[in-house]
Structure 1
């Protein structure tokens, strides 16, 4: 969440000033941490979660938005 915030505003203010402004808050983040987070590849869990979310959204929409957790889960297992 912090990384996305910095990504949205770094073109206006720069990474270093944003990190300095966040130092005095609960959302403090070092510039090196930001750069490390942007350089590392996306986790397999994150990729899988995104795929499942798309499948769940599709199943729910195809069934007129009335399928609940149990039916969506059963459909995913099929």
Structure 2
């Protein structure tokens, strides 16, 4: 990513920062990084949900799912 010198700040009449302009290359890099974070969040949320189901399965309150059943549901 570019250095902070490539950032431009827009301010209001009271000189309070309102927005930032950055080079397109930096924006595209940030956008790609954000998508990667969203993908990681999706995987972690799914893993957390699965871990929360384990005690319910062990207690017999929720049916267990075999690997074949899981893969068939995808």
TM-score normalized with structure 2 length: 0.36
Q: Whose RCO is larger (CA < 8 A, sep 6+)?
A: 1
Which structure has more strand as a fraction of its residues? 2
